[in-house]
Structure 1
Amino acid sequence: MSRALYCWELGAGYGHTAAFLPVARQLKSLGHDVIFALRDLEYAETLLAKDRFCYLQAPIRWPDGRPLPPASSYSGILLNSGFHDATNLYTRAKAWQSLYAHLQPDMLILDHAPIALLAARRLNIPRAGFGSGFLSPPRLSPMPNIRPWLRVADKVLTDTENQVLNAANSALERMNAPPLRILADLFDLDEDFLCTFPELDHYRQWRTANYRGPTILQTDGMAPVWPSVGAEKIFAYLRPEYSGLEILLKQLRASPWSILVHVPGTTPAFIAKNSSANLHITPHPVIISATAEQCDLAICHGGVATLSAFLLAGKPMLVLPFHLEQLISAQNIATLGVGTYVSAESKNPNYKAPMAELLRNSKYALAARKFSKKYAGFAPAQQAIDIAERCHTLMQSPYIKGSS
């Protein structure tokens, strides 16, 4: 039996773990052991206990509450994630190496896990990236500006990358591992599972790639139950930390629509305060496929998997991004003509007006249905099988470091 170790280091929510779960089940059916090293254990038991997958806490940098400057490139994201401090970077990389030594994996599957990748530079086992395009930057130096609406000097991009590169190479030297020539060498992978559609790739203008299609998060959960009051059906998947949440719910309560809202982990008191005859709130996941089929409009923060589920059902969307990855996704949605977005910087946001426009103007639904028809042949179940079989091949083949 071979062992695959899934490593998740950056990001939030249960989407990362849930996205890999279908692949993990396929790997298990092929006779492989799968262990999850997770940034966030909050939903680990809920998601993984049924299949008896083992999980543990990943070595991560805990936020210290200090405000961070906005990142203009993937290098800037790494700088904000702990790559500014060579000593702390080294200690976390050593913690990952300790995990590897104890678990003895035959393959690493890395989901937004740059320090886990750094720690694995000397391992003679296959490494695969897994996730949306945002998690796998183009192999360029310097890495490109991911805020193209802002002017960022090339020198700023280069200086940021050099700072990250120097810290990474300092840690690698202490681990007796070969240095990185450019930062993109960190992503020296045997396979890169880009789980998105090209239209939703955050770096689509900088590369051509073999796109695997999105990971549709889950089929488990409760069946959607819509309020009987209201005509058109709106589904919203919202995070409790979203700053505009209560303003949005207030506007939804005053609307003529039937609205079902999923807010993970919310409390009974919050539900009682913010519900109404036309607005029901649940802390429990709902069946995405059924919800996408039944709703007329979806609201979410811009995760690629969620966007894709509703696009495949041909439904228009209102996106409410509150970090950079989501903002780029929201802009891609607007470019496709299948929806619009409200930025987190909006003062006194009017959510009701764009929702009314999305429901009234048929061009958005038509564009969404056009997208749905384009990818009508996409099968998430087959995607999981294909990825698992590729991992199986990598684990079964003789491996020479540096080959792919």
Structure 2
Amino acid sequence: MKRIALAWEQGGNQGHLVRLRRLCDELERAGAAPVWALAPHRRGLAALAGDPRPHVQAPPVLTRPLGAVLSTADLLVSQGFLDDAYLLASIRAWHALWQRERIAGVVADYAPVAQLAAWAAGLPVLQVTNGFDSPPADLPIFATRFNGEYFVRKNAVTVAALSRSLERVGRIFGRALSLAVLFDAPDRLLDCVPQADPHGPRSPSAYVGPLGQLPCADEATWTGRPGMKRAFAYLRGQAAVAAFAAASSGRNWELFCVCPDWTGDTVALGEHVRLTRTPVDIASALRDCDAVLNYGSSTLVSQVILAGKPQLMMPPDIEKWTIAATVARHDLGRLVLPTGDLGGALDWLSSPGAIERAALLGEQLRAMSLGDRLTERIERWIR
């Protein structure tokens, strides 16, 4: 039985573990034995509660403070990819783990050093990604306010330095290490829909749709006021909740809002708002709502598109910004700010064009049964 390591290095969202648990199930069905390879601080997270698979301790992960992020190149710099000594030590530590645990393959979820180490050791790698951390190998700048020739040149200098660093490390291991090894990986699963992939479109067979969510039995409860349109909101931060609550007041919208970090007075939000800090069943919420307000999470954004509902996205960071901008380019949602014209954006949600466009694409994507591809892809990779 092949032992497969599941590695997750970067990012703080437990959604990484949720989708990896789904892959554990698929690996076991294919006759493999999954082994968690995680840093110690990951092992007590709620998304792993009750999981019976064995754990081994992964090498320490380096994450330095970020300045302005022009592209994935800057993220790699913050993760130690210009530090030859760190890369050498980490790759050797991963190699020792592969040998000690008799690892035959690696599933890498935002785990660039583990992926590099697997390549250097000649192990097969399956990369699972929402698209953000898997750009083209030339690492183009993100579509943000940092545009123009100066930023393109600045980014090119960083990309060239990363390429030289990987070449130096690769020579020590006798392997050709490069950015293409990380970002042109032949085996890749995208747990999103194509319209939410910041670096798409790619081969249609790579997309398997969102792979899961935290289990929860609670359903969203609406106010039941007659004639009101329903908006399901999953937001981060007090400002986002307060801004949407104020904008929807008097606009014939009722909001059911999930905000895990809310600490304020819910009464002040208005009678048209119900708020909870705990997760709810996403499938039923999407079934019963007319539109969705969210913070640009790849999984939820893809679930909304599959459900055929229009959405507004208020992203708090660069990853979610790029995802939201991608959805907006497909005219399936609007990227908004707390200080922007939220009233006008809410009016767009109820426009016939937005509703019909989202419903039509959702129907087309559901007919493609993206999730049915997962089992076949895993079985083929294991062979």
TM-score by length of 1: 0.81
Q: Could you list the per-position Cα deviations for residues 336-356 of structure 1 after superposition, in whole angstroms to 9, with x for gaps in the alignment?
A: 22220114xx6x344344123
Residue 151 of structure 1 is matched in structure 2 by 148
Question: Among residues 161, 164, 172, which one is paired with 1:163 in the alignment?
Answer: 161
Instruction: Kindly indicate whether residue 12 of structure 2 is the aligned counterpart of residue 2 of structure 1.
Output: no
Residue 402 of structure 1 is matched in structure 2 by none
> 1:293: how far off?
0.7
Give ranges in structure 1 of 5+ residues lacking alignment: 394-404
Rounded to whole Å, the distance in 2 between the matches of 1:355 and 1:374 is 25
Kindly provide the amino acid, as one letter, of the partner of residue 137 in structure 1. Answer: P
Rounded to whole Å, the distance in 2 between the matches of 1:305 and 1:40 is 25
Residue 214 of structure 1 is matched in structure 2 by 209
Residue 119 of structure 1 is matched in structure 2 by 117
SS at match of 1:375: helix
Kindly provide the amino acid, as one letter, of the partner of residue 237 in structure 1. Answer: Y
Instruction: Kindly indicate whether residue 218 of structure 2 is the aligned counterpart of residue 226 of structure 1.
Output: no
Instruction: Kindly indicate whether residue 210 of structure 2 is the aligned counterpart of residue 235 of structure 1.
Output: no
> 1:245: how far off?
3.4
Question: Among residues 314, 320, 344, which one is paired with 1:320 in the alignment?
Answer: 314
Whether the aligned pair in 2 keeps the contact of 1:235 and 1:297 (CA below 8 Å) is: yes
Question: Among residues 368, 380, 385, which one is paired with 2:375 in the alignment?
Answer: 385
Kindly provide the amino acid, as one letter, of the partner of residue 82 in structure 1. Answer: G
Question: Among residues 321, 328, 348, which one is paired with 1:357 in the alignment?
Answer: 348
Whether the aligned pair in 2 keeps the contact of 1:4 and 1:106 (CA below 8 Å) is: yes
Residue 327 of structure 2 is matched in structure 1 by 333
TM-score by length of 2: 0.85
Residue 198 of structure 1 is matched in structure 2 by 194
Give ranges in structure 2 of 5+ residues lacking alignment: none
**How many percent of aligned residue pairs carry the same amino acid?**
22
Residue 280 of structure 1 is matched in structure 2 by 274
Residue 73 of structure 2 is matched in structure 1 by 75
Assess, with a 3 A threshold, how the Cα gap between structure 1 residues 37 and 324 changes in structure 2: closer, same or farther: same
- Write out aligned runs for 1:238-257 (5 A): 238-239=235-236, 242=237, 244-245=239-240, 247-248=242-243, 251=246, 254=249, 256-257=252-253
Residue 376 of structure 1 is matched in structure 2 by 366
Kindly provide the amino acid, as one letter, of the partner of residue 378 in structure 2. Answer: A
Rounded to whole Å, the distance in 1 between the matches of 2:74 and 2:30 is 39
Deviates more, 1:42-51 or 1:317-326: 42-51
Figure out how many residues of one structure are paired with residues of the other and give that number.
378
Q: Could you list the per-position Cα deviations for residues 120-156 of structure 1 after superposition, in whole angstroms to 9, with x for gaps in the alignment?
A: 23323211111122222224xx333332761245533
Question: Among residues 305, 309, 314, which one is paired with 1:311 in the alignment?
Answer: 305
Rounded to whole Å, the distance in 2 between the matches of 1:188 and 1:67 is 25
Rounded to whole Å, the distance in 1 between the matches of 2:290 and 2:39 is 34
> 1:288: how far off?
1.7
Question: Among residues 76, 83, 106, which one is paired with 2:104 in the alignment?
Answer: 106
Q: Could you list the per-position Cα deviations for residues 197-240 of structure 1 after superposition, in whole angstroms to 9, with x for gaps in the alignment?
A: 333322226x556332322422721332323265222212223x
SS at match of 2:292: strand
Kindly provide the amino acid, as one letter, of the partner of residue 213 in structure 2. Answer: Q
Residue 32 of structure 2 is matched in structure 1 by 32
Residue 258 of structure 1 is matched in structure 2 by 254
Rounded to whole Å, the distance in 2 between the matches of 1:172 and 1:8 is 22
